[in-house]
Structure 1
Amino acid sequence: MAEWLRIGEVATAVGVSVDTLRRWEAEGRVEFERQGGKRVLRADRLADVLAHRPAGAGSSARNRLAGVVVAVEKDGVMAQVELACGDFRVVSLMSREAADELGLAPGVRATAVVKATTVIVEAGRGVESG
């Protein structure tokens, strides 16, 4: 039996908004089926949708968290940008110039693209003693 993904699950997996998927459907780039009035996609067709990801999708970074900017702190050279991405809080440090060029400000939709080369170990969080 085929596994079905709701449009919101597809959007999360692809790293785009539900509105983008609806637009892609109207343009014929993706075809959803309807089940009980809801748009669904067979899980095995997700790869077809991934082929339509936005610019930057050719990146080697696979961790994409769609969210909304909640805070931006700038000084003369640097900016600290905080995003709310579902259950996650993501903070990025970048040049002030980059933040200005991207138009980052509270309320702006943005995607955090994470390419991790280091793993940080935290002591005392989620560690059970025995």
Structure 2
Amino acid sequence: MSVGEDRYESFATAVEDPYFGALLGTIDEPGGAFTANRAGLATIEWWDAHGTGPTCAELIDAVFEIDDWDATIVDPGRTAFERREQLELLHRWLISYWTRVGTISFIPGHDDIVRPGRIEITTDAGRAEAE
């Protein structure tokens, strides 16, 4: 699975930002539902395999399988430290989004474990993924 591209037409941003574009491209429908369901399924699979849920970082890795985020989200205008901060923010937003839509359950500050939420299969891609 890859991070979504920043092809959004519903509004225009004042400044183009690679991390914001990746976030919008990842949660934009119809792919957003697929990615959210994938996060829920990955949490269930992790729980079945390990007897506990993944951490947020482990879930992000399981959903996207990206080894080099700097090559995936190119942002030469920021320092390596700033890119790490932006990437952490992107990951927190994704966890928050998946929690809000209910495919996972995570309470920041409670513990580090992501729990399964509900999985709604509404698209053909979701059906294929769930089988």
Q: TM-score, normalised by structure 1?
A: 0.24
Based on CA coordinates, which of the two structures has the bigger radius of gyration? 1
Q: TM-score, normalised by structure 2?
A: 0.24
Task: Considering Cα pairs closer than 8 Å and 6+ residues apart, tell me whether 1 or 2 has the greater RCO.
Answer: 2
